[in-house]
Every structure is written in C-alpha cells, then in structure tokens.
Copies of this chain bind each other. A is one copy, B any other.
C-alpha cells in the first residue's frame, strides 16, 4: 500500500511517519507539507534520519487522490475542511486527524471552532473512527474522522454506562488532564518549559472544542444524553491523558457489577484493558501505545461512579488510532503495525 501524510512535520505527522515506516503493509510513504515543501524531512528531524531521504512535497490533491491508497491529514483546524473535498472521487481513502470532519452538524463546528465548516456532503460521508464502537461503519468508509484525544479517552470510558443507561445522563462531569504535546509543536507562552515545569494549569473551562464531539457520540448511544461538564488541565509532562469521569448511578450497582459490564463490552477489543477492582491505570501504563486502560470505582456513600480512562494522546489520541482505522478500512489485522508493550520506565 502507498500512503501519504499531509502535515508531516507536526507532532501527529511524525508519529504517523514512525508508525507507517514500520507497518508491515505499507510499501511507500510520501510526506507533504504546504509550509515546508521542498525541504528534507530528515533535515528538520535529524534524529529520524536512518539513511533514507524524504523531500516534503507540495499538496496537490488532484494528483494525490489517485496516487495513494490512503492519505492521512495531520493538519491544523481549518485545513482538511477545504482539502478533503478535493481528495474525494479518486482511489485514495482519507483519514483526517483534525477536528474538521468530526461534527455532523456544521453549525456546531462554526460555534466551537470559530471557522467555516466543511461542506455538508463531506461531513455526511465522514465516519467517526472510534473503532471499538464503530468498526462496521469504518470498514466501509471512504473518509474517516479520527477522534480527538480527549473524546477518545472520555468516550471509551463512558460507552458501556451510557449504552446500558447505568448513569444519570445529566450528572456527567469529565475532569480531563493532558500532557503538553496536545498543544502542538508551535512554541507559545503556555508551553514554555520555564512556565509549565513544576506547574499545573487549567484551561478552556467548559469551552474546549472537544465538548460537542463527545456529546454528539453520547447522543448516538442514548438520545437522553445531556450536556456534560468538561474541564481540561495541562500536566507538566509531554504525553498522556487521564480523564477522570464522574456520574450518578441510576440504581445500586457494585463495582463488580459495573466491571463485568465493561469486560463484556470490551472483551474482543485488543486495545482496551479493564483493571481489576481497586486498581487504576496511570498514564505511563499506556505510554507510546494504542491502549486505553480503564479503572472503575463505585462510592456507596454518594452513589457515584468514578471512571478513570488513560491514553497516550499522540497515539490512541491521534496517530496510532489513525493506523488502527486504516487497518480496518483495508481489512488488515486490527493490530497490524501497532506496538504491543508500553515503554517503561
């Protein structure tokens, strides 16, 4: 298979580069960058130089749509909404890692992203690529909207209790924490080492653009779903997301009852791991992998459930989930080319 990466020099792009180069079914990989076309990728990232040379190509959708089997868009918000229409109608399938194609309702995009939405027909075509819940649709798709990092952790954590209506939908609070790489590679005051090190910050309280993406999926699972409370925090580390999710149980449930529901929902999913009672994952447990690890507590004093869901934001939250989607799109083994073991320590 021939693959292309648009936006190859961002954090998502270089993870795709690393993973696709070692993927057993990818035989050629081409890198695109509108801002750095003509430069050599290995000059920008000398540590990725292993003897090969990748000249960054100009983005020419007409040519690309027939030349590649799959094109990954690892571009900032506002790019793939314009680019994807021109990549349709040819041979290539498209996996978009940005938020541009995730919201089915264009007005949601306008409201939360403050940009022009993609054309409606593109939005209708795009399949939300959360493989643990959507694999049937994914395998027949032409365009995949790869989920956001926070939604991935949150939705995998919430799916079983929402589907089973175990939790009052109006009670859901998600307290999410992310490493700094989620803010991308462009330097800014918030990601300056001297500011961020030995610091814990909260940002975009109730205003993160991932909120409508989460709520849209909750509604697909249960049309009683309601707006959620959602906070995002910046942890002084590079990778990793933990979503600590709270909800009120609709009826008495032991933690064992709930764990069985999770184990049952995810029993055939190679990338979701449920911890035993009393055990909770930390972000390092999934470092550099495609796993989502989940732990559950039930507090009898308050009748609330606490769901702890962790991912690597650049992997399951971006690049490796995109590969997982590609695997499903092309009928490959779901785990092909994806690391099995987290790095530790």
Contacts and interface: CB of A to CB of B under 8 A. Distances in A.
A288 interface: yes
A96 interface: no
A106 to B, nearest CB: 20
Interface stretch (A123-131, A154-162, A258-266, A299-307): A299-307
A158 to B, nearest CB: 15
A54 interface: no
Given A22-B341, A192-B185, A205 B280 contact: yes
Interface in A254-312: 273, 275, 279-288, 293, 295, 297, 299, 301-302, 304, 306, 308, 310
Contacts of A306: 205-206, 229, 231
A341 B50 contact: yes
A200 B46 contact: no
B302 A47 contact: no
Contact of A240 (B11, B47, B199): B199
A33 interface: no
A112 interface: no
A200 B175 CA distance: 13
A48 interface: yes
A29 to B, nearest CB: 12
A11 B194 CA distance: 10
Contact of A275 (B17, B46, B179, B198): B46
Given A175-B244, A194-B238, A304 B229 contact: yes
A237 interface: yes
Number of copies: 4
Kindly name the residue among A14, A18, A343 whose own CB sees the greatest number of chain B CB atoms within 10 A: A343
B340 A200 contact: no
Contacts of A237: 197-200, 236
B229 A233 contact: no
A195 interface: yes
B202 A233 contact: no
A246 interface: yes
Contacts of A227: 301-302
Contacts of A179: 194, 198, 200
Nearest to A289: B47
Nearest to A206: B299
A331 interface: no
A282 B189 CA distance: 14
A196 B193 contact: yes
Given A195-B284, A227-B301, A280-B205, A344 B14 contact: yes
Contacts of A200: 177, 179, 235, 237, 240, 242, 282-283, 310
Contacts of A46: 275, 279, 281, 285
A197 B197 contact: yes
A122 interface: no
Given A229-B299, A343-B288, A344-B48, A180 B194 contact: yes
Interface of A: 11, 14, 17-18, 21-22, 45-50, 170, 173, 175, 177, 179-181, 185, 187-189, 191-203, 205-206, 226-229, 231, 233, 235-240, 242, 244, 246, 273, 275, 279-288, 293, 295, 297, 299, 301-302, 304, 306, 308, 310, 314, 340-345
